[in-house]
């Protein structure tokens, strides 16, 4: 077992089942964070009880534990920013509560890349579906010149050679990424105008790139993602309306930049495929890998 000078920030608005899996996976992984922040964003399910249950476990593991409960759901950007401001570790991990560790020494592998490349500001993992096929959910983000985004590798084989290489990009999803904590001083915090969620992570990546940092996907770290678990409490109409609203803000802000992007990416890459299209089934396999 080894420790990494990193703080993991997890927000939870309901989804107690997923949050439990996330916390258990962090404790059982080979490398441990120095500190963890668990923020209860006004959950109405048994999520608050997890604090009482897991606090002594993290303390016993030697991990600093900080938690609080918001009286209302503050959304993703504001709630994460409040935690990020309190981080004392050199690195910060954003991790959705519906994500579980797959690669046992994940933090060490992230750190190794950061140590080799001082320009790297944000690193994203290979996100896998937790069902036994372990298809790719996201291997970095593609952006079309018109501003449309796509989850690269979505539905592809986990070991497809195309997604087995380090890949500098303009954007990543924050379901799980590893970043330099001091980006908050050099780049700024998540933009809270992207409320309550969606596009705030892509926006931060682009701002980091424009400040001279590298943003990249690494296949060496794999994480399981119960896609949609984080936002399951949002009704479909409300959720889709929010995506459309924040997408418009995102495109308006960067439309001149996007026009300089390559148009060689096939348009089919930007056709959204629902996870139901992959026939994943209900069985889960969350085993740790080396």
Is 289 part of a structural domain of the chain? no
Burial of 60: CB neighbours in 10 Å, binned 0-12, 13-18, 19+: exposed
> What CATH number is given to the structural domain containing 99?
3.90.550.10
Length, in residues, of the chain: 290
What tokens were used for 71?
A: 């009286």
The pLDDT value given to residue 233 = 47
Statement: the pTM of the whole predicted model exceeds 0.85: yes
CA–CA dist 10, 133 (Å, integer): 26
The pLDDT value given to residue 275 = 84
The pLDDT value given to residue 247 = 93
Start-to-end CA span in the chain (Å): 13
Is 286 part of a structural domain of the chain? no
Is 287 part of a structural domain of the chain? no
- The 8-class DSSP code of residue 105 comes to T
Domain count within the chain: 1
CA–CA dist 124, 158 (Å, integer): 16
The pLDDT value given to residue 241 = 83
CA–CA dist 79, 54 (Å, integer): 21
Is 96 part of a structural domain of the chain? yes
Is 283 part of a structural domain of the chain? no
Question: If we measure between CA atoms, which residue out of 136, 73, 78 comes closest to residue 275?
Answer: 136
Q: Which range marks the domain in which residue 37 is found?
A: 2-278
- The 8-class DSSP code of residue 53 comes to H
For the chain, the farthest-separated pair of C-alpha atoms sits apart, in whole angstroms, at 52
The pLDDT value given to residue 162 = 96
Q: How far is CA 253 from CA 43, 160, 206, 217, in A?
A: 33, 34, 11, 24
Question: If we measure between CA atoms, which residue out of 187, 185, 186 comes closest to residue 201?
Answer: 187
Question: If we measure between CA atoms, which residue out of 126, 125, 123 comes closest to residue 154?
Answer: 126
The pLDDT value given to residue 228 = 73
Q: What is the mean pLDDT of each run of 10 residues along the chain (290 residues)?
A: 93 96 98 98 96 95 97 96 98 98 98 97 98 96 94 96 98 98 98 92 98 98 87 63 90 96 82 87 95
């Amino acid at each position: 077992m080894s420790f990494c000078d990193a703080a993991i920030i997890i927000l939870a608005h309901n989804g107690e089942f997923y949050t439990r899996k996330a916390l258990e996976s962090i404790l059982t992984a080979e490398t441990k964070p120095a500190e963890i922040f668990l923020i209860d964003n006004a959950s109405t399910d048994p999520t608050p009880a997890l604090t009482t249950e897991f606090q002594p476990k993290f303390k016993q593991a030697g991990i600093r534990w900080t938690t609080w409960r918001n009286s209302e759901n503050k959304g993703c950007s504001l709630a994460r920013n409040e935690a990020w401001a309190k981080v004392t570790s050199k690195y910060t991990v954003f991790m959705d509560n519906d994500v579980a560790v797959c690669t046992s020494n994940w933090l060490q592998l992230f750190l190794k890349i950061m140590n080799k490349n001082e320009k790297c500001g944000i690193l994203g993992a290979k996100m896998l579906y937790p069902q036994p096929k372990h298809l790719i959910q996201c291997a970095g983000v593609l952006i079309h010149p018109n501003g449309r985004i796509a989850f690269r590798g979505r539905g592809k084989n986990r070991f497809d050679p195309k997604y087995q290489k380090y890949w500098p990009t303009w954007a990543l999803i924050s379901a799980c990424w590893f970043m330099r904590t001091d980006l908050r001083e050099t780049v700024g915090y998540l933009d809270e105008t992207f409320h309550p969620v969606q596009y705030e992570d892509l926006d931060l990546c682009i701002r980091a790139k424009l400040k001279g940092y590298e943003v990249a996907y690494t296949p060496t770290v794999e994480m399981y993602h119960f896609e949609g678990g984080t936002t399951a409490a949002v009704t479909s109409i409300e959720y889709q309306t929010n995506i459309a609203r924040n997408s418009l803000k995102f495109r308006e802000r960067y439309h001149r930049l996007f026009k300089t992007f390559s148009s060689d990416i096939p348009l089919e890459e930007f056709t959204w495929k629902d996870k139901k299209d992959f026939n994943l089934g209900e069985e889960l396999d969350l085993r740790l890998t080396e």
